[in-house]
């Protein structure tokens, strides 16, 4: 299994448990590792035979813009399920970072690994 990476995808969403957080958009940063066999694309130099990381990124940006969440854990689970289902990915590892959530830390976050 090969891995296609998307690093530090920045998106804004409504996320948080406090009342003030439910009224604003906050930045999340995503790191994705997406299991995929890249050999067919490499052999033919054909985009249609690989995982289109721009399409995956756009879908996650749309998802984050439309939904609201209290927990980054919820965001991670729903985003992973969405990508696995819509892009027929056999495996992924997703890290979600929430910068500024703890003043003394650069960010807080979770990392999950899921299989189809």
Active centre residues (catalytic)? 98
Rounded Cα gap, residues 31 and 107, in angstroms? 13
- Sheet holding 68-69: strands in order across? 68-69, 2-15, 26-36, 91-99, 107-115
Buried b (16+ CB within 10 A) or exposed e, 9-42: bebebbbbeeeebeeeeeebbbbbbbbbeeeebe
């Amino acid at each position: 299994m090969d891995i296609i990476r998307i690093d530090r995808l920045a998106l804004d969403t409504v996320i948080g448990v406090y009342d003030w957080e439910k009224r604003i958009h906050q930045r999340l940063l995503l790191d994705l590792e997406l299991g995929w066999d890249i050999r067919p694309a490499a052999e033919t130099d054909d985009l249609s035979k690989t995982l289109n990381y721009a399409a995956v990124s756009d879908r996650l940006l749309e998802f984050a813009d439309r939904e609201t969440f209290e927990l980054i854990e919820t965001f991670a689970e729903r985003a992973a399920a969405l990508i696995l289902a819509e892009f027929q990915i056999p495996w992924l590892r997703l890290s979600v970072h929430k910068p500024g959530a703890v003043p003394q830390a650069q960010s807080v976050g979770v990392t999950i690994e899921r299989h189809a």
